Amino acid sequence: MSMGNEQLEYALHLADNALILGQRLGEWCGHGPVLEQDIAMTNIALDYIGRARLLYQYAAGMCAPESTEDQLAFMRNEWEYRNVLLAEQPNGDFAQTVARQFYIEAFQIDYLKALQQSGDATFSAIAEKSIKETAYHFKWASEWVIRLGDGTDVSHRKMQDALETLWPYTGELFREAPYESWMRKNLNGPDLAALYTAWSARLQPVFTLAGLELPAGQWMQEGGKTGRHTEHMGYLLAEMQFMQRAYPGLEW
Amino acid sequence: MPAQLFEERIEGEEKIEPRDWMPEEYRRTLIRQISQHAHSEIVGMLPEGNWVTRAPSLKRKAILLAKIQDEAGHGLYLYAACETLGVSREDLLSELHSGKAKYSSIFNYPALSWADMGAIGWLVDGAAIMNQIPLCRTSYGPYARAMVRICKEESFHQRQGYEIMLTLSRGTEVQKQMAQDALNRWWWPSLMMFGPGDADSVHSLQNLRWKIKRFSNDELRQRFVDMTVPQAELLGLNIPDPLLRWNPDRNHYDFGPIDWDEFWNVVRGNGPCNRERLHDRVNAHEEGAWVRDAAIAHAIKQRNRQAPVAS
Amino acid sequence: MKDWPLYEVFIRSRSGLNHKHVGSLHAADPQMAIEHARDVYTRRMEGVSIWVVESSRLHASDPTENDAFFEPSQDKIYRHPTFYDLPDEVKHM
């Protein structure tokens, strides 16, 4: 990957977020808490894999002529992945998966609306398509936060724990990486800091209905956007990249 | 009187519906067959589920996810068909989890390489489709309707599997080896999927008479072999059966004897993955219990909160 | 704890058509049932509208009364247009 190309890096950031979330949700396939939810989570995973493909294809077009979506998805080094740390966090129990999706989908609704207004026609078109998917994902996640928060003592505790566990990874969503400022300045990309209020406003009513406490921690983890990941990422990539690494350059 | 009417309706190809009178044995047979079928779909998600996270391309990952998701859907349709006979899904799952209920033994074999995703789609889904298409005309309405839906959705499953095999067989030496190895491991278990030979099948005859089944195990197995051999030739792969040859007198392929000891051994729980598969299912169910409980508790609270307003 | 109740699902495949029964599923509440129906029964663009109803709320005719219920309409063929013989010259009727 040639560095210094902000637009490419930005495309990879979006693509990696989608792929890693899709990969994590795909891990649930066959192991969901109830058959109907297995199907629901796979649907969300499929939305993300589809979105990742569109973005990698766009990114591949910006790279060397022989670059492909799969090369970008499977053949980069860990420090070249630009996804946020939140995306790579393990599924944990069902509450933790719900919490991860809840934070990130709440963010994406307004983020994608802003991206749709950007000066890059491809990003804008992908954002337009993704907004509809995200509206459904957010509905799914918030309903589960409410159900689990309100449901039983056990589920209330698990949901609160999960929201606390992942809270320190939410700050990164609003911290601008260099390629994001470039995108904002040159192609009218989303202004992250400005999205914070909207995000909080989406969380608040759900927490209230769920009877849950908004985590109060101030210290935030970051690094994923610039390639410094958590320890989970190495295992995720080892598994995901296995075929392409073991048998490089083949058709499947 | 109702018994005679029932037999007449079966004879006249009329469907039996949930609230119609039916012999107890017919009901029991249906519950057994439909639930086994449902369990097979659900357990069948596991060997393929192994490869979702390792799929070699984004396209294959999406296809595999969609296919496994279909299997979850098919399990769901079938459990629902079974529930029309007065048993709950929870009861059916308990029977699966306790080891009392059976599911298709094929899923107790391991999925060891990516080529297994091809072989499973091509052979296992291929064999399943042979079994399933006639079931679209099965005499019990809800089962037949579920099967119509399933067959319609399933039509891409076998094709995607064969396409994987095709890509591998046209690929490098390693890819061809992978494909051949997968065929070697999945061929005989696929033939066993049609169940014991007609002479040894306990349930076959009555099921045919009641039109729950429409063709015998051996008929379907022969049809599968006849269909599959030319497909293997097209791939340039060898079917692992030295006795396999075309018999012009019968107008069918002859094939070697099936190792029924292996079959019964796997049915009895001694296959390579019986324990793992069951453990995975039980685990998912038990770990999901608090989620299911929470959802129902929330629903009840919601209803009670709204109740004063509604009344 | 109680199991999730069973819901019957009805889908309108495109506008202008009736909702048609397509199957059933389990859900903890009606909203969840609609979403499950969306995920389970409209993955292949099969619908534009979904109805769900808790199976236990559905009332059905009794099949043992079928004779009394449905047979009396069988001999009233004068309700059907083909019962009436009109000369071919009468068009559009």
DSSP string, chain C: -PPPPEEEEEEESSTTS-EEEEEEEE-SSHHHHHHHHHHHH-TTS--SEEEEEEGGG-----GGGHHHHHGGGTT-GGGSGGGS---TT----
- Averaged pLDDT of chain B: 94
pLDDT mean over B41-59: 97
* Residue A252 maps to a domain: no
Which secondary structure element, helix H or strand E, spans residue B155, and what is its range? helix B141-169
Spatial contact of A160 and A212, defined as CB atoms under 8 Å apart: yes
The pair of structure tokens assigned to B104 is: 């298709």
Tell me the residue type at A159: M
pLDDT over threshold 70, residue B310: no
Report pLDDT for B198: 84
CB hemisphere CA count around C68 (13 angstroms): 5
Which secondary structure element, helix H or strand E, spans residue B247, and what is its range? strand B245-247
**Roughly how many angstroms between the first and final C-alpha of chain B, as a whole number?**
47
By DSSP bridging, strand B245-247 and strand B252-254 are: antiparallel
Closest alpha carbon to B280 in B92, B106, B97: B97
Pick B49's closest partner by Cβ from A19, A29, A73.
A29
3-state class (DSSP) for residue B246: strand
Rounded to the nearest angstrom, the gap between the alpha carbon of residue B181 and the centroid of all alpha carbons in its chain is: 23
Say which range, A195-209, B133-147, B199-213, B294-308, has the weakest mean pLDDT. B199-213
pLDDT mean over B281-289: 97
pLDDT, tens digit, 9 for 90 and up, residues A88-125 = 999 999 999 999 999 999 999 999 999 999 999 999 99
Report pLDDT for A52: 98
Inter-chain contacts counted by CB atoms under 8 A, chains B and C: 51
> What domain range is A27 assigned to?
6-212+229-246
Task: Give the model's confidence band at C34: pLDDT under 50 very low, under 70 low, under 90 confident, else very high.
Answer: very high
Hey, of C3, C7, C32, which one would you mutate to test binding to chain A, going by the most A CBs within 10 A of its CB?
Answer: C32
DSSP A93: S
pLDDT mean over B73-102: 96
Find the DSSP H helices in B12-110.
24-43, 45-49, 58-83, 89-97
Instruction: Answer whether B76 sits within 8 Å of C44, measured CB to CB.
Output: no
Instruction: Answer whether A34 sits within 8 Å of C31, measured CB to CB.
Output: no
CB hemisphere CA count around A139 (13 angstroms): 12
pLDDT, tens digit, 9 for 90 and up, residues B10-24 = 999 999 999 999 999
Spatial contact of B205 and B261, defined as CB atoms under 8 Å apart: no
Chain C residue with CA closest to B90: the answer is C3
Q: In what order do the strands lie in the sheet with C19-26?
A: C19-26, C6-12, C49-54
Query: CA dihedral in degrees (B192, B168, A71, A231; nearest 10)?
Result: 30
Q: Percent of chain B at pLDDT above 70? A: 97
B244: closest CA of chain C, how far (Å): 40
* Residue A218 maps to a domain: no
State the residue for tokens 């796979």: A42
For domain C6-79, give the CATH number.
3.10.20.520
B15 in reach of chain C (CB within 8 A):
no
Which residues of chain A from 47 to 76 reach within 8 Å of chain B, CB to CB?
49-50, 52-53, 56, 69-70, 73-74
Report pLDDT for A2: 43
Task: Give the model's confidence band at B309: pLDDT under 50 very low, under 70 low, under 90 confident, else very high.
Answer: low
B92: closest CA of chain A, how far (Å): 13
Which secondary structure element, helix H or strand E, spans residue B280, and what is its range? helix B274-287
Rounded to the nearest angstrom, the gap between the alpha carbon of residue B53 and the centroid of all alpha carbons in its chain is: 23
Buried b (16+ CB within 10 A) or exposed e, C48-72: eebbbeebeeeeeeeeeeeeeeeee
pLDDT, tens digit, 9 for 90 and up, residues C41-84 = 998 988 999 999 999 999 999 888 888 888 888 888 888 888 88
Chains touching chain B, criterion 3+ CB pairs below 8 Å: A, C
Task: Give the model's confidence band at B203: pLDDT under 50 very low, under 70 low, under 90 confident, else very high.
Answer: low
Spatial contact of B88 and A68, defined as CB atoms under 8 Å apart: no
Q: Cα(A51)–Cα(A9) distance, rounded to whole angstroms?
A: 16
What is the total count of domains within chain A?
1
Report pLDDT for C80: 86
3-state class (DSSP) for residue A103: helix
- The residues of chain A scoring below 70 in pLDDT are 1-4
The pair of structure tokens assigned to B123 is: 């052979």
B94 in reach of chain C (CB within 8 A):
no
Spatial contact of B240 and B188, defined as CB atoms under 8 Å apart: yes
pLDDT over threshold 60, residue B34: yes
pLDDT, tens digit, 9 for 90 and up, residues B223-251 = 999 999 999 999 999 999 999 999 999 99
List beta partners, residue C54: C7
The pair of structure tokens assigned to B206 is: 């009555």
Inter-chain contacts counted by CB atoms under 8 A, chains A and B: 144
Pick C1's closest partner by Cβ from B17, B73, B293.
B293
CATH code: domain of residue A26: 1.20.1260.10
Pick C35's closest partner by Cβ from A34, A35, A140.
A140
C72: closest CA of chain A, how far (Å): 43
The pair of structure tokens assigned to A35 is: 């058959």
Contacts of A39 in chain C (CB under 8 A): 36, 39-40
Chains touching chain A, criterion 3+ CB pairs below 8 Å: B, C
- Write phi, then psi, for C21 (nearest 5 degrees): -65, 130
Pick A151's closest partner by Cβ from B174, B280, B297.
B297
Instruction: Answer whether B88 sits within 8 Å of C3, measured CB to CB.
Output: yes
Spatial contact of A27 and B52, defined as CB atoms under 8 Å apart: yes
3-state class (DSSP) for residue B252: strand
Report pLDDT for B311: 46
